[in-house]
Amino acid sequence: MITPVQTLSDDALQFLKQTLGDELVTTNFSEREYHARDQSFHHAHMPAAVVFPENAQHVSAILKYANEHLIPITAWGAGTSIEGNPIPVAGGIVMDFLRMDKILRVYADDFQVDVQPGIKYKDMNAKLASDGLFFAPDPGANASIGGMIANNAAGTRTPGYGATRDNVFRLQVVLANGEIIHTGTRSKKTSSGYDLVHLFIGSEGTLGIVTEATLKLHPIPEHFSAAVASFETVAGATRAVSAVVGAGLKPVALEFVDVATVRELNTTNEFHLRENPTLLIEFHSATPHALEHELALAQELCNDNGCIFFEVGVGRVERDRLWKMRHSTYEVLVRNHPGISFLICDVAAPVSKYPELVAACEREINALNLPGASIVGHAADGNAHPLVPYLPDDKASHARALQALGNMVRVALSLGGTATGEHGVGLGKIPFMREEHGASLDVMRAIKRTLDPNGILNPGKMF
């Protein structure tokens, strides 16, 4: 394991400034403090310096030097991750991609775009809208594309369009020794060689640093509608998820919101939902007739599982209102419960096991007997996000919350699921890696040693 580096030598700082320029290298305390933590509950760790590369050659030169001098390197996008993924636990250099934020080329006829890793997801889509195109994975936050690739981010639209992994054609990656490689092709299919693109996606910057990506785009849908379905019971709502997916319907998004969360959202007076377990559903279609058919069948399936209210809202304004509501859950909980902190859990299981997963999560968070306990999730993926409350200044309370989180992870694994559906391993899910992967974890370690033998890339993560 690489030795933590708390301060850089004068020679190292001189090299960085000669390579990048003085204005792109800083040891300023406030900058280092800003890059010491993401939006998770994990402890902050200060880097020794922060650098702002402007191109792949900058990244290459820094990595080559760092590898030779055993300096840890951690890539930084927007800092929106919630599993400690970009926290520089070994100090060293944080490489912030703020200045590598360009759309390089749009291939409108091929529905593709070349981008740099620092561009923010929402900002990129705002620019692509002029071409009638968008990048589909929606993590909620305005995450950087590099961060989304590193963590294989997903979000609400995964049922219709897939996760980040399903929407990347090729990558430019800088390895630990400074070598720049290109993986993948712009062709829609290839059977040529090992699939290195998908090796790097989800590797959290531990195998190489992405400096350019070709992304898959989609036309902005002309016809879409969102629906709200309220149920008598959680079991009915979660069974309806399996029914909708099992019937061959193709919802672009299908989100579960428990009754406690609905009550919290209603306190804002922006939303007025029935205080019942709820599904938020969105469909896209080529024609209004096909859209109406899918919605009608979805309503029928929901009714068969105890739906007591089904509301359809056609149009962008109503759709945007629903997703604003869903994405505001965490902020509302924090605002409504100022004396409470939350662990954001991320577990997933096969869709057929989703009712069991949600029931187990409910039992765990209710047993804590604290306000603000909440469960939302990307139900069509079998992905649940319990928000686990604890008292921030109470070590015993925090320990109980961590135990509840661990219990939920183990239930997910017992159901054939995973410790992390989309947030990545980061720091929080390391304890479950052996349980989930068994001997294949040793293969991952071997790959890590091959590509990063000195362990300089995002040390302390994954293993």
pLDDT digits (tens, 9 = 90+) for 79-111: 999 999 999 999 999 999 999 999 999 999 999
pLDDT (tens digit, 9 = 90+) per residue, 53-67? 999 999 999 999 999
CA atoms of 280 and 253, how far apart (whole Å): 8
Contact between 50 and 97 under an 8 Å Cβ cutoff? The reply is no
Angle at 121 between CA 375 and CA 384, to 5 degrees: 15
DSSP letter for 28, please: -
Q: Pairing relation of β-strands 307-314 and 341-344?
A: unpaired
Confidence band, pLDDT 50/70/90 cuts, at residue 153:
very high
CA atoms of 366 and 389, how far apart (whole Å): 10
Listing DSSP states for 303-349 in one string gives HTTTEEEEEEEESHHHHHHHHHHHHTHHHHHHHH-TT-EEEE--EE-
User: pTM, whole model, 2 decimals?
Assistant: 0.95
Which numeric CATH code is attached to 10-98?
Answer: 3.30.43.10
Task: Give the H/E segment covering residue 111.
Answer: none
Output the pLDDT for position 314. Answer: 62
Angle of helix 10-20 relative to helix 56-69, nearest 10 degrees, comes to: 170
CATH class of 337-449: alpha beta
User: Where does CATH 3.30.70.2190 sit in the chain?
Assistant: 221-336
What is the three-class DSSP state of 255? strand
User: Where does CATH 3.30.70.2740 sit in the chain?
Assistant: 337-449
Return mean pLDDT, the chain: 95
Residues 6+ apart with CB under 8 A from 175: 63, 181, 207, 208, 451, 452
CA atoms of 56 and 265, how far apart (whole Å): 44
Cβ neighbourhood burial of 254 (10 Å; 0-12, 13-18, 19+)? buried
Q: Pairing relation of β-strands 307-314 and 133-134?
A: unpaired
The residue among 141 and 4 whose pLDDT is bigger is 4
CA atoms of 35 and 257, how far apart (whole Å): 33
- Taking phi over 0 as left and psi of -120 to 50 as alpha, with beta for the rest, 358 belongs to alpha
Fold of the 221-336 domain: Alpha-Beta Plaits (3.30.70)
User: Where does CATH 3.30.465.10 sit in the chain?
Assistant: 103-219
Q: Identify the CATH assignment for 103-219 out of 3.40.50.720, 3.30.465.10, 3.40.50.880, 1.10.150.570.
A: 3.30.465.10
User: Where does CATH 3.30.43.10 sit in the chain?
Assistant: 10-98
Is pLDDT of 216 > 80? yes
pLDDT (tens digit, 9 = 90+) per residue, 396-445? 999 999 999 999 999 999 999 999 999 999 999 999 999 999 999 999 99
